């Protein structure tokens, strides 16, 4: 038996924070350059730096403003020739020659599109996130982009919210690890590397808790929950060296983030020591008027700058209103100088003053074979096997014909997912194309989509598809969501498959042939009925450019699924919010509750069990967080703790044996959960603290080690102090958030 040691991801996160990066924090040469430049700037030039515009028209249309030094950053310019032309105006024709910072939303790839971030999170592999961001940065920087508005690290516990697609799901720790890895990937080892792109963790903060999962909606997150659940991923991103932050659209407890001094000054600057630049979201400054938080553009600028915002995205209140505010003493010159310092600091760190131009020939790197390979690996690791009855997958050599059905089988645009501004659908490899290529003449492929697109309600093709499918040995049904059904402003109140996709699956199931359902979507969908009707279900959140080859490999066993759910899958919408790290309540569900149809007529009130559950949906979700099958099986045994009594500065070592008890080589995502049994405030029933991917050959057994510093059990307690409270803890080493043998340990004072 081999011993397998894992460097704890938590330790890694803190190592990242200790690393001295050249051009990083406290670089006195840069600070001197900033001061020298600042001392030469007029007020107009300072306010210009604080102004971000969206690209429009011809170079000439924008060059007037740039020449006058009235633009600090431009977003949405992706042609390197135009980027250089605009930069030339800034560097050669403006008085001080300050380069412009070119920005773009590069969320899960620039040209080579990786799985959506929610999919990447399903890999539970920070390397996937880092590599995806690195490839994105190499490609985007080739077009002259040096700033991306990513990673999106909003903890999201409501799949109605379309933007759940853009983040890493419901868990604070998983989001922290993946987000920090993305920051590293975007920025590389040094921001001055011409392929480095400044990261912008967003949306700061709490945006994922929008009431009812409706985008832009208000949030109500009390400070303790904000600190325990929503802030840690941002703190991890700051520690990983994120150059910039973006404020969010939501008002939390009545205060829009763009005017929130507490989060921007007290937490971000003072507590975390952040010295980068803070930008608003798109017009989130002027939207403070719609919120009813500012009466007019002048009050907008005053509240935003005084709260600690440095740059305004596209709503122009800073350039227009700050001169008067300054005269009236409502905004201090020191506040403006500080904002300009933060902006210039990032421009210096990016090396823009020394190398303002992009090498136009670098565009050759787009869709490089190594990028496509990385995107395929990411898509393989992101797919989650939810069901595999009787081992129907992987498809065996005895399968001589397959029917490829469903609107997502050949949807090159839609499989890319949301936030794809630059990806080219003609480069997408769809499942249909990949399957044909993989099986060649060995397997007959019958293609009959049944529906033209995911919302298609026209059932005229359904019967035809079912008839065609009946001729095949196995039916492969590709269903899900078009790209436009998730992402910003694309929220849903109904999470069933759209259009006539449910009817399609029902008709396919009626043929009696085994149905393998592959779902490509931007969120977890309520697919309980479809799971029932299918022999196997593979869930691939929109998998990107190389989704097809990844899925074909998985279906035929050239690759083995290893993804786990990064978010709880509800049975029905009414269960939302449903997430694993909930508090216990005073009346926790027993799972023996009497459900709706079993309640006797005229039952006395107490017969319902008096616990916290839904009569129609019970308590449990369709799939818990952290869940996913493999083609092989894994057995956990021999879980041992280094000690059952630990002090606050100890490190708990957890070892266990993991054995591959099946017949395929496979990778298991082993997870470590902890529960703090009694606290000064109630604590979640489980919290993920560690995870690791372990690859084992059939019959192979390894001893796996998790190192958990007890300091990581700290939380913001009744006194709003972050501390480890002594007491009893429970621990599980498990394949998901709902299983595993319970162990106990104690932390002493």
Catalytic residue ranges: 281
End-to-end CA distance of the chain: 37
Taking the complex as a whole, how short is the minimal distance between the CB of residue 282 and ligand BGC, in angstroms? 4
Q: Does 673 bind ligand BGC (CB under 6 A)?
A: no
Question: Measured between alpha carbons, how far is 118 from 552 in angstroms, rounded to an integer?
Answer: 21
Please, what's the b/e burial string for 726-743 (b: 16 or more CB within 10 A of its CB; e: otherwise)?
Answer: ebebebbbbbbbbebeeb
3-state secondary structure of 60: helix
249: Cβ–Cβ under 8 A, 6 or more apart, which residues? 203, 207, 216, 256, 257, 281, 284, 287
C-alpha dihedral over 530, 536, 537, 540, to 10 degrees?
Answer: -150
Q: Does 105 bind ligand BGC (CB under 6 A)?
A: yes
Question: Measured between alpha carbons, how far is 737 from 666 in angstroms, rounded to an integer?
Answer: 20
Q: Does 245 bind ligand BGC (CB under 6 A)?
A: no
Question: Measured between alpha carbons, how far is 348 from 355 in angstroms, rounded to an integer?
Answer: 10
Cβ atoms within 10 Å, residue 41: 20
Question: Measured between alpha carbons, how far is 577 from 160 in angstroms, rounded to an integer?
Answer: 10
CB-based closest residue to ligand BGC: 149
Cβ atoms within 10 Å, residue 22: 10
Taking the complex as a whole, how short is the minimal distance between the CB of residue 162 and ligand BGC, in angstroms? 11
List 255's β-bridge partners, or say none. Answer: 252
Cβ atoms within 10 Å, residue 1: 9
Half-sphere exposure of residue 111, counting CA atoms within 13 Å on the CB side?
A: 20
Taking the complex as a whole, how short is the minimal distance between the CB of residue 103 and ligand BGC, in angstroms? 8
Residue carrying the six token digits 């007020």: 43
Taking the complex as a whole, how short is the minimal distance between the CB of residue 206 and ligand BGC, in angstroms? 14
Taking the complex as a whole, how short is the minimal distance between the CB of residue 543 and ligand BGC, in angstroms? 22
Complex with ligand BGC: residue 423 or 709, whichever CB lies closer: 423
Half-sphere exposure of residue 660, counting CA atoms within 13 Å on the CB side?
A: 22
Half-sphere exposure of residue 687, counting CA atoms within 13 Å on the CB side?
A: 20
Complex with ligand BGC: residue 282 or 715, whichever CB lies closer: 282
Complex with ligand BGC: residue 448 or 488, whichever CB lies closer: 488
Cβ atoms within 10 Å, residue 367: 17
Complex with ligand BGC: residue 105 or 171, whichever CB lies closer: 105
Taking the complex as a whole, how short is the minimal distance between the CB of residue 71 and ligand BGC, in angstroms? 16
Q: Does 149 bind ligand BGC (CB under 6 A)?
A: yes
Tell me the CA distances in angstroms from 328 to 44, 155, 311, 332, one per residue in order.
Answer: 17, 40, 21, 9
Q: Which residue from 302, 203, 287 is spatially nearest to 244, judged by alpha carbons?
A: 203
637: Cβ–Cβ under 8 A, 6 or more apart, which residues? 656, 657, 659
- Asked whether 674 and 725 are in contact (CB, 8 A), the reply is no
Choose which of 77, 235, 299, 488 interacts with ligand BGC (CB under 6 A): 488
- Asked whether 196 and 240 are in contact (CB, 8 A), the reply is no
Does the N-terminal peptide bond of residue 577 adopt cis geometry, omega within 30 degrees of 0? yes
Binding-site size for ligand BGC (CB under 6 A) equals 6
Complex with ligand BGC: residue 152 or 335, whichever CB lies closer: 152
587 alpha-carbon distance from chain centroid: 33
Span 201-220, contacts to ligand BGC by CB under 6 A: 202
- Determine if residue 241 is left, alpha or beta; phi over 0 gives left, psi from -120 to 50 gives alpha, anything else beta: left
Q: Which residue from 472, 556, 479 is spatially nearest to 514, judged by alpha carbons?
A: 472
Complex with ligand BGC: residue 242 or 559, whichever CB lies closer: 242
Taking the complex as a whole, how short is the minimal distance between the CB of residue 645 and ligand BGC, in angstroms? 47
Q: Does 282 bind ligand BGC (CB under 6 A)?
A: yes
Complex with ligand BGC: residue 149 or 230, whichever CB lies closer: 149
Does the N-terminal peptide bond of residue 125 adopt cis geometry, omega within 30 degrees of 0? no
Q: Which residue from 635, 694, 640, 703 is spatially nearest to 670, judged by alpha carbons?
A: 694
Span 183-202, contacts to ligand BGC by CB under 6 A: 202
3-state secondary structure of 561: coil
Complex with ligand BGC: residue 158 or 281, whichever CB lies closer: 281
Which two tokens mark 435? 């399957």
Question: Measured between alpha carbons, how far is 439 from 416 in angstroms, rounded to an integer?
Answer: 24
* Rounded (to 5) percent helix, strand, coil in the chain: 35, 20, 45
Complex with ligand BGC: residue 62 or 505, whichever CB lies closer: 62
Helix (H), strand (E) counts: the chain: 21, 26
Give the footprint of ligand BGC on this chain (CB under 6 A).
Answer: 105, 149, 202, 281-282, 488
């Amino acid at each position: 038996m081999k011993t397998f040691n894992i460097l704890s991801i938590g330790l890694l996160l803190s190592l990242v924070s200790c690393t001295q990066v050249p051009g990083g924090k406290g670089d006195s040469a840069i600070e001197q350059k900033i001061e020298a430049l600042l001392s030469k700037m007029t007020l107009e030039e300072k306010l210009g730096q604080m102004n971000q515009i969206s690209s429009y028209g011809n170079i000439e249309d924008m060059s007037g403003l740039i020449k006058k030094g009235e633009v600090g950053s431009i977003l949405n310019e992706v042609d390197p020739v135009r980027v250089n032309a605009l930069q030339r105006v800034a560097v050669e024709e403006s008085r001080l020659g300050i380069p412009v910072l070119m920005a773009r939303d590069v969320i899960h790839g620039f040209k080579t599109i990786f799985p959506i971030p929610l999919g990447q999170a399903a890999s539970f592999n920070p390397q996937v996130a880092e590599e995806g961001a690195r490839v994105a940065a190499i490609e985007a920087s080739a077009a002259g982009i040096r700033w991306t508005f990513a990673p999106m690290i909003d903890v999201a516990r409501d799949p109605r919210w379309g933007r759940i697609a853009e983040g890493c799901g419901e868990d604070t720790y998983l989001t922290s690890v993946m987000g920090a890895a993305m920051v590293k990937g975007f920025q590389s080892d040094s921001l001055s590397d011409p392929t480095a792109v400044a990261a912008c963790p967003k949306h700061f903060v709490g945006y994922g808790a929008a009431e009812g999962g409706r985008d832009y909606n208000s949030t109500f997150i009390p400070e303790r929950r904000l600190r325990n659940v929503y802030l840690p991923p941002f703190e991890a991103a700051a520690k990983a060296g994120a150059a910039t932050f973006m404020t969010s659209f939501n008002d939390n407890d009545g205060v829009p983030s763009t005017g929130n001094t507490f989060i921007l000054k007290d937490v971000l600057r003072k507590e975390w020591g952040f010295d980068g630049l803070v930008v608003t979201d798109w017009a989130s400054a002027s939207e403070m008027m719609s919120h009813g938080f500012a009466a007019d553009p002048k009050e907008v600028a005053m509240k935003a700058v005084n709260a600690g915002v440095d740059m305004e995205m596209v709503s122009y209140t800073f350039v227009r209103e700050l001169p008067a505010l300054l005269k009236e003493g409502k905004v201090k010159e020191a506040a403006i100088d500080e904002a300009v310092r933060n902006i210039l600091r990032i421009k210096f760190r990016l090396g823009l003053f020394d190398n303002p131009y992009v090498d136009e020939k670098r565009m050759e790197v787009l869709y490089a074979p190594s990028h496509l390979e990385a995107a395929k690996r990411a898509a393989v690791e992101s797919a989650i096997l939810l069901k595999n009855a009787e081992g129907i997958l992987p498809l065996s050599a005895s399968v001589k014909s397959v029917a490829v059905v469903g609107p997502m089988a050949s949807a090159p645009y839609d499989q890319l997912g949301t936030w794809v501004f630059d990806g080219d659908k003609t480069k997408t490899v769809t499942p249909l194309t990949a399957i044909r290529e993989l099986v060649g003449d060995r397997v007959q492929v019958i293609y009959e989509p049944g529906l033209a697109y995911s919302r298609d309600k026209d059932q005229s093709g359904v019967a035809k598809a079912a008839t065609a499918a009946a001729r095949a040995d196995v039916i492969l049904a590709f269903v899900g969501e078009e790209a436009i059904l998730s992402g910003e402003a694309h929220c849903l109140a109904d999470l069933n498959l759209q259009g006539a996709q449910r009817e399609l699956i029902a008709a396919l199931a009626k043929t009696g042939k085994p149905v393998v359902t592959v779902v490509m979507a931007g969120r977890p969908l309520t697919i309980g009925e479809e799971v029932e009707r299918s022999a196997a279900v593979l869930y691939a959140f929109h998998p990107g450019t190389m989704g097809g080859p990844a899925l074909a490999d998985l279906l035929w066993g050239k690759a083995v699924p290893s993804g786990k759910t990064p978010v709880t899958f509800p049975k029905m919408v009414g269960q939302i919010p449903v997430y694993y790290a909930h508090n216990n309540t005073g009346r926790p569900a027993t799972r023996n509750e009497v459900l709706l149809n079993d309640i006797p007529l005229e039952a006395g009130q107490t017969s319902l069990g008096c616990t916290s559950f839904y009569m129609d949906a019970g308590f449990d979700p369709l799939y818990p967080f952290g869940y996913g099958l493999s083609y092989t099986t894994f057995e956990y045994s021999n879980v041992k703790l280094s000690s059952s009594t630990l002090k606050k500065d100890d490190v708990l070592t957890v070892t266990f044996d993991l054995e591959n008890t099946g017949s395929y080589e496979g990778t298991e995502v082993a997870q470590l959960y902890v529960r703090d049994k009694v606290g000064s405030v109630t604590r979640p029933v489980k919290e993920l603290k560690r995870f690791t991917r372990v690859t084992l050959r059939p019959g192979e057994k390894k001893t796996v080690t998790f190192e958990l510093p007890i300091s990581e059990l700290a939380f913001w307690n009744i006194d709003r102090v972050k501390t480890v409270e002594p007491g009893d803890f429970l621990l599980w080493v498990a394949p998901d958030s709902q299983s595993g043998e319970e162990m106990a340990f104690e932390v002493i004072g």
